[in-house]
Structure 1
Amino acid sequence: MRNDGTNFDTMVIGAKMGGPHQSHSNGRRPAHPGNGDARRIAELEREVRELRRANEILKVYFAKELDLDVRPAPPALEFGPGNPSGTDLIPPTSRVPADPMHWAPARPQRASDEPRPMAEFRALGPIEAVVAGRLVDLGAPKQRALLAVLISKVGQPVAVDVIVEELWTGNPPPSAITSLQAYVANLRRVLEPDRAPRTPATVLRTFGRGYLLDNRVVEVDIDRFGERATAGWRALDRGRAQQALREFEAGLTLWRGQAFAEVADTAYVRPEVARLEELRLSVIEGRCAALLAVGAHEMAVAELEAFTQAHPLREYGCELLSLALYRSGRQAEALAVLRTNQKRLAEELGIDPRPALQHLENEILNHAPALDWRPLPGGGF
């Protein structure tokens, strides 16, 4: 069955009107349609729209029947020109992710009355699994590494060849496939302890020549972190600094160490680890922006000094630290932060700081009123 809606519609129109290549017997162009023809065309267009909707419903239905991972694309995030800190501290590149699909991984929405997931996985640190409300023993290191690889692509099949390559770093023994099958069987017993013998697995499923974790019955802390991050930036952009602070802090508490600790250095998982680390750093910056927005300048200074020492080339962190110092009555130190950043960028990367930092330096020198903190309307909740 084709999933090309355009071809499907063309086929329907052709069938309704005598075929897409039907020619006129007199060789001349048809006359302009009268009222009857116009009404008939309108009816055909309505039927085509109805058939298109039916086609979309059928595609989703058959995808479910065939166990394919077909999900609607999430709506694009839209943000207004909110300015919670009195100056433009949240540039669009920091506020809005380039790829919403990777910013907050999509998963099927569950109704409030649906049962809890069969398993919950934690990958923002060493791999953990919770089944029936309890942490379970995931076994030997390679067995844990197998689960980590599958979590990194939850809802998507991972080929056996890829798993073997990652678990044995390109040098698998002759018994690798047998060992892998044993690891899968052990994990299935742990993740579905009540599954009847010889019944299909629901959580860790076989899919073609590979395995997948079914995202319809599991939850992953990575998804929750992405959702908290998105909610925090949205709230901050709308001037709801207290709400943003709560969202960012709730997201950061999910972290227990390096993401996918067991397999963080493997080629297959490394891009996901890097993406999550970048997201974590942006959420730390967002939390500090929220602290500034609620007037907690000294607390923001303490957080940002440690952050910029660990990540000196992150210009947004330097921008926030400079403003926090200025609002704490430390103008000279605020300027020193900007000038040190400018020198480092020139020496290490051969670039100038972005215009926002240059503008902030001028405003600090001129004691611009726009830099002064003002309570947000309505308390910013």
Structure 2
Amino acid sequence: MGGSSRSTRSVAELEREVRELRQANETLKMYFTMALELDLQSPPPAAVFEMARERAGAHAVAPQPPAPRPHGGVRWAQEDPAEAGDVPPTKVEFRVLGPIEATIGGRYVDLGATKQRAALTLLVSQVGQPVSVDVLVEALWDGQPPQSAISSLHAYIANLRRVLEPDRAPRKPAKVLRTRGRGYLLDSSVVDVDAHRFGTCATAGWQALDRCDPQRALDEFEAGLALWRGEAYAEVSDATHVSPEVVRLEELRLSVVEGRCAALIAVGAHEVAVSELAGFTQSHPLREYGCELFSLALYRAGRQADALSVLRMHQRRMAEDLGISSSPALQRLEVEILRQAPTLD
């Protein structure tokens, strides 16, 4: 009986020690997993190792923090800061004039699930500026985040870092998606965004028109419009910090459509301009510059009556819907069409 009791106690003690060892291992495993995901810049505090040793009991060997090694192995980013900027990352190109896409070296990359893509879209909308964790959580969960929201966000960021810098060595600090305080930012020096290129094309197109170079203007406008695939920042277009930029880009897009039609008229492609402006003015009936261009294109295509009809229909709409008169530019254009002014040719 006595021997049986001692055996039972020995088994129970061994089982308890095994459980404690497993708990200690899980503690360390959890820390190193978080370190890998969050790109922590310092080794784990000694308290973590001490806690694991105490929980494991006398049978456990206290683990040691990783020491610097001259070649290979895991090293913490702070150990050798001189190496941080040795190899610049390949530039990442983001496309947000439609559903978000990313390419690295001309190859598309998988940006993951819906919320992960939305987090990246929000960061792209603020390239070069930090976006706080609070803003990201608010946008991703519509103001009602679950208890796991912060952990989920950290996982999204870790996944995105691996995707955006596939060749980054372990423990090297991220250079594309960086940590800033209690938030994250995309480094503008290694990121290219189609929305920014669109703005550059728009400016170049209008400058070319001002220089009386309509063919160059047409090329710039068409290059800019070709970047659009749908609504800008589609995944988070309603987010508080993004919606003003969505509105701005849409207004700029409409002005570029009008600029392209002005360039078409200037190079003599009147019929093409007529077909483009017919649909544009129907979708945006209150845009007076579009109406002016449509009427001018019709007149130069030899359709004087249709040109006058467009102007008068617009005038009635403005009076009935808004209680205002047409702009002076449209009124002058109507008079010049009636007079068949040589300046219109």
TM-score, L = length of structure 2: 0.73
Residues of 1 paired with 2:156 and 2:119: CA distance? 8
Equivalent of 1:121 in 84, 94, 118: 94
Residues of 2 paired with 1:255 and 1:289: CA distance? 20
1:305-332 C-alpha deviation (Å, 9 max, x unpaired): 0110111111000000000001111111
Residues of 1 paired with 2:238 and 2:156: CA distance? 21
TM-score, L = length of structure 1: 0.67
| RMSD (Å), alpha carbons | 1.1
What is aligned with 2:280?
307
Report SS of the residue matched to 1:208. Answer: coil
Report if aligned partners of 2:90, 2:105 keep a CA contact under 8 Å in 1. no
What is aligned with 2:249?
276
Letter in 1 for 2:213: R
Q: Name which one, 1 or 2, has greater alpha-carbon Rg.
A: 2
Equivalent of 1:360 in 325, 333, 343: 333
Percent of residue pairs identical: 72
Letter in 1 for 2:246: V
Report if aligned partners of 1:204, 1:211 keep a CA contact under 8 Å in 2. yes
Which consecutive unaligned segments of at least 5 residues does structure 1 have? 1-114, 373-381
Q: What is the Cα deviation at residue 198 of structure 1?
A: 1.6
Residues of 2 paired with 1:131 and 1:228: CA distance? 22
Please say if 1:173 is aligned against 2:146.
yes
Letter in 1 for 2:333: L
Aligned residues: 258
Letter in 2 for 1:273: V
Q: What is the Cα deviation at residue 265 of structure 1?
A: 2.0
Report if aligned partners of 1:232, 1:248 keep a CA contact under 8 Å in 2. yes
Equivalent of 2:205 in 206, 209, 232: 232
Letter in 1 for 2:282: Q
Letter in 1 for 2:338: L
Structure 1 segments (4+ residues) deviating >4 Å: none
Letter in 2 for 1:362: V
What is aligned with 1:342?
315
Q: What is the Cα deviation at residue 117 of structure 1?
A: 5.0
Report SS of the residue matched to 1:342. Answer: helix
* CA gap 1:288/1:128 in 2 versus in 1, 3 angstroms: same
Report if aligned partners of 1:117, 1:219 keep a CA contact under 8 Å in 2. no
Residues of 1 paired with 2:319 and 2:157: CA distance? 52
Report SS of the residue matched to 1:236. Answer: helix
Residues of 1 paired with 2:106 and 2:342: CA distance? 53
Please say if 1:258 is aligned against 2:224.
no
Q: What is the Cα deviation at residue 207 of structure 1?
A: 0.5
Q: What is the Cα deviation at residue 269 of structure 1?
A: 1.1
What is aligned with 2:181?
208
What is aligned with 1:192?
165
What is aligned with 1:14?
none
Residues of 1 paired with 2:133 and 2:210: CA distance? 44
Task: Indicate the structure with greater helix content.
Answer: 2
Equivalent of 1:285 in 258, 265, 273: 258
